[in-house]
Amino acid sequence: MPRRLPEITGTETLRVPLTRAALDPEQASLFAPMFKALGDPVRLRLLSMIASAGGGEVCVCDMTDCFPLSGPTISHHLRVLREAGLVAGDRRGTWVYYRLVPRSLAVLGALLEAGRPVPAS
């Protein structure tokens, strides 16, 4: 079952990134699984493949050949991404099609102040 995303009731919440206010324990426990899911190189690649897919979704059958891993292992990684609330999937016959949950990345981006220039050093 996908995790509940942190509630965002307005733009004020989005203007309080990690650099301006410390997370409380409940917020940290909501965000941690998302970061943990992205901390694995396979899952990060899977997420990037799904996010950059033309048409907005990717069949698991199109992703398995990109990795030297078994189908069940890829399915496990996709399940972790799904349970973290980063992707959603729909079964169509034998295959599952995955799509990005844009709100999840918006929440993480706001938390990390996405879009700010990265310092040179």
Q: Which CATH number fits domain 25-110: 1.10.10.10, 3.40.50.720, 2.30.40.10, 1.20.1440.230?
A: 1.10.10.10
> Residue 41 phi/psi, 5° resolution?
-60, -35
Given a cut of 60, whether residue 62 has pLDDT beyond it is yes
pLDDT of res. 71? 87
Q: Is the pLDDT of residue 116 over 80?
A: no
Arithmetic mean of pLDDT, 33-59: 93
Amino acid code (one letter) for 104: S
Count the Cβ atoms, other than its own, within 10 Å of residue 64.
15
Q: What are 90-115's pLDDT values in tens digits?
A: 999 999 999 999 888 888 887 877 55
The predicted structure's pLDDT at residue 119: 57
Query: Which residues is 87 bridged to in the sheet?
Result: 100
- In this prediction, residue 96 carries a pLDDT of 94
Domain layout of the chain by residue ranges? 25-110
pTM, to two decimals: 0.78
Sign of CA dihedral 91, 96, 102, 105: positive
